[in-house]
């Protein structure tokens, strides 16, 4: 074959690989979307994760092949490919080990951390484009997308790290000071000025790009530090949405269809989830970000709760549930901390064997991340058909003989219905107080994450079973078994 034939054949080979690349990305996109659809149901969620995972594997593999297939020389890519493979292998190994070892109680902070890594990766891509000047050389549209993606990715990265620190207990308080919002606005204004200068080409160079990224990272920190722990489910969802958007924008910059589709899917799903979480708390996103709810200082707000908490022994509580016709169990973060989900399900099986109608009631913001309680119950083997969300289960509390609260607090606080001065007034809650009897498993008389006293604990039909969740569930199991 002579040189002329090779010259004519090479473009055809490049076009062939382009078609192969486009088809592969289309298949990967279909797997992403179908996987996300299957994740919407607990029954098919596991397979949905697998489908989306295979879509990502396919997109990653064809992206590795793309540079050479488009006619670039191997010598130009060898070093970079080795570095990419080494980084991907190291990251994959760390993720595999940490994913296997992480406790279910630590899953929220792991999600926050990994989500931050996604935002950081998008910001890093933008940094390469902006430092090299490639983004601005392709026209204003690409420059805008690169700058916006860099901004969103950097905010998501630093904000997610702060969320991780709060959930992990490394940051034990929320930091607020006078004029904090004004400072945030000034930082945002600086970011907008620098970003506009980069897009217009009036500002350029390493110092400007560096200042832009530093301010974006600072904004992520200053936005997240004041937010209390009660709002972490919303914060995690928000930064998940931001990471997706950042990835999609950088996908446009790199002309990578897989990044565009995956980022758009994650961004839209995260946005919808954030709206769901905020609506479940009857609050706007702006209120979550800027009102400072979730800090213990809010305990002074609202009408003071009067009365005393009345305790109950595990033996009496077990007997009450053994002879009940319907028991509704409301799990919360305390169940996760105590790792009590397996004991709770063992107890539920004993009740079901006795003919008791047992159901689990899940509030959208129970726990530290969206779906936290569903994941815990699935881990313990609880059937999906006896798990119900707030809208499905609330009407049944009035016919329940016992509502068993284990580790939940704010999501069952009746002041949300009747105390207009309470910070959680108007938040949809589980109507556990309307059950004939309420048994609350709790370590002590402390308040919930919001710092608000729970009026449910003082009602005439409520009894407190103090102690560790797992030990209390074990004691209830023994009591139920003792009933003939």
One of 1.10.10.350, 3.40.50.1220, 3.40.630.30, 3.30.1490.190 is the CATH number of 314-482, namely 3.40.50.1220
The position carrying tokens 């995690």 is: 236
How confident is the model at residue 423, as a pLDDT?
77
How confident is the model at residue 14, as a pLDDT?
59
Residue stretches of the chain with pLDDT short of 50: 1-9, 69-75, 293-300
The one catalytic residue in 353, 391, 410, 419 is 410
Residue 433 annotated among the catalytic residues of the structure: no
Tell me the three state secondary structure of residue 361.
strand
Each domain of the chain, given as residue ranges in start order, spans 113-294, 314-482
How confident is the model at residue 4, as a pLDDT?
46
Number of H helices, E strands in the chain: 18, 6
Q: What pTM was estimated for this model as a whole? A: 0.76
How confident is the model at residue 379, as a pLDDT?
83
Structure tokens at 379: 């881990």
Task: Compute the distance between CA of residue 377 and CA of residue 357 in angstroms, rounded to an integer.
Answer: 17
How confident is the model at residue 331, as a pLDDT?
93
How does pLDDT run across 346-391, given as a tens digit for each residue?
A: 999 999 999 999 999 999 888 777 778 888 888 888 998 899 988 8
Are the CB atoms for 252 and 145 separated by under 8 Å?
yes
Are the CB atoms for 121 and 149 separated by under 8 Å?
no
Tell me the three state secondary structure of residue 365.
coil
């Amino acid at each position: 074959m002579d040189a002329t034939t090779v010259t004519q054949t090479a473009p055809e080979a490049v076009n062939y690989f382009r078609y192969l690349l486009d088809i592969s990305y289309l298949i990967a996109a279909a797997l992403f979307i179908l996987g996300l659809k299957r994740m919407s149901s607990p029954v098919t969620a596991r397979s949905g994760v697998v489908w989306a995972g295979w879509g990502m594997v396919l997109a990653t593999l064809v992206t590795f092949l793309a540079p050479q297939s488009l006619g670039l020389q191997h010598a130009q890519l060898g070093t970079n490919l080795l570095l990419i493979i080494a980084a991907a292998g190291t990251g994959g190994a760390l993720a595999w080990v940490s994913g296997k070892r992480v406790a279910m109680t630590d899953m929220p902070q792991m999600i926050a951390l990994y989500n931050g890594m996604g935002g950081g990766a998008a910001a890093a891509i933008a940094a390469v484009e902006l430092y090299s000047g490639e983004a601005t050389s392709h026209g204003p549209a690409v420059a805008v997308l690169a700058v916006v993606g860099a901004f969103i990715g950097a905010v998501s990265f630093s904000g997610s790290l702060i969320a991780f620190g709060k959930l992990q207990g490394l940051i034990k308080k929320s930091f607020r000071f006078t004029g904090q919002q004004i400072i945030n606005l000034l930082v945002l204004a600086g970011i907008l000025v620098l970003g506009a200068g980069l897009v217009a080409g009036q500002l350029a160079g390493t110092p400007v790009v560096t200042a832009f990224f530093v301010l974006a990272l600072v904004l992520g920190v200053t936005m997240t530090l004041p937010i209390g722990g009660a709002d972490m489910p919303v914060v995690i969802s928000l930064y998940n949405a931001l990471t997706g958007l950042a990835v999609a924008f950088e996908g446009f910059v790199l002309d990578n269809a897989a990044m565009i589709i995956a980022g758009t899917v994650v961004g839209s799903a995260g946005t919808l989830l954030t709206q769901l979480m905020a609506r479940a708390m009857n609050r706007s996103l702006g209120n979550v970000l800027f009102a400072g709810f979730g800090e213990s200082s809010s305990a002074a707000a609202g009408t003071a709760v009067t009365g005393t908490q009345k305790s109950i022994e595990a033996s009496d509580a077990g007997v009450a549930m053994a002879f009940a016709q319907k028991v509704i169990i409301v799990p919360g973060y305390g169940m996760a901390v105590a790792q009590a989900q397996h004991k709770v399900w063992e107890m539920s099986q004993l009740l079901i064997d006795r003919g008791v109608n047992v159901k689990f009631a899940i509030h959208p913001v129970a726990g530290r991340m969206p779906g936290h309680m569903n994941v815990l119950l699935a881990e313990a083997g609880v059937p999906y058909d006896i798990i119900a969300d707030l809208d499905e289960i609330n009407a049944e509390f009035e016919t329940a003989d016992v509502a068993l609260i284990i580790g939940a607090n704010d999501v069952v606080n009746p002041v949300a219905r009747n105390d207009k001065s309470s910070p959680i007034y108007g938040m949809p809650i589980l109507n556990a107080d309307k059950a004939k009897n309420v048994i609350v498993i709790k370590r002590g008389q402390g308040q919930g994450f919001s710092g608000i006293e729970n009026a449910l604990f003082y009602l005439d039909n409520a009894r407190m079973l103090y102690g560790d969740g797992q030990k209390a569930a074990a004691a209830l199991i023994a009591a139920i078994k003792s009933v003939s």
